[in-house]
Amino acid sequence: MTNSRSPSPNQIRFAVEPRLVPAQKAARRLHLTEAEFREKLDALLRVGFPAACSITGHYDLKAIDEWLDARAGIGEHEGKPKRNVMDGLKERLALIGNPSPKVGPK
């Protein structure tokens, strides 16, 4: 006869944090409901959002995070090194003609 009980906590050696997740959790990563995510998915894919795995249908959280970083200009993407967030802010302010923000001790 087999034991149908779940393993006790001392039998579990480490927690597993899945990297591939269903649409519901990918949506949550974008702060969307699953319905909102599915509604916006075509538009997301057009701007480079990582597609679901062709085998599991799940989304790669690491790829989503890298896509978000690249869109924000803070991640390492396309062979470019990671950018400092303040560098991106300075560039954006320069584009609109504002002086660089004062950063650091006065």
Across the 106 residues of the chain, what is the mean pLDDT of every consecutive 10-residue run? 65 85 98 98 97 97 95 72 63 70 57
| Pick from 3, 5, 44: nearest CA to 23 | 44
pLDDT value at position 30?
98
What are the boundaries of each domain within the chain?
A: 17-95
Q: The whole model's pTM is what? A: 0.61
pLDDT value at position 104?
56
pLDDT value at position 35?
98
% helix / strand / coil in the chain, to the nearest 5?
45, 5, 50
